[in-house]
């Protein structure tokens, strides 16, 4: 399965419609896909995490909804 499609489906099922996948990149050394996760905000779209997939499109790691919300809060209110 296409990594971008897999991440889009995962986000819709687990996070919500305000998130969407960015362009995937493949790490040949690690044999893993990395897909950035964007969140739509009033100030523009921001990256709130990355999903890691194996060569076959199985999700190896995905940040939780709570982790992405925390990251969004850190981006919106810089220290």
Give tens-digit pLDDT for 35-47: 999 999 988 999 9
CB proximity list for 19: less than 8 A, separation 6 or greater: 11, 37, 38, 39, 40, 48, 68
Give this prediction's pTM. 0.88
59: which strand partners? 53
Q: Region 3-25: what's the mean pLDDT?
A: 94
Enclosing domain of residue 33: 3-76
Position 59 scores a pLDDT of 97
Count of structural domains within the chain: 1
């Amino acid at each position: 399965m296409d990594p971008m499609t897999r991440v889009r489906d995962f986000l819709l099922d687990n996070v919500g419609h305000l998130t969407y996948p960015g362009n995937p990149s493949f790490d040949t050394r690690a044999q893993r896909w990395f897909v950035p996760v964007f969140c739509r905000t009033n100030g523009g779209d921001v990256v709130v995490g990355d999903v890691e997939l194996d060569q076959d499109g199985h999700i190896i790691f995905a940040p939780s909804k709570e982790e992405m919300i925390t990251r969004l809060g850190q981006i919106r209110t810089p220290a």
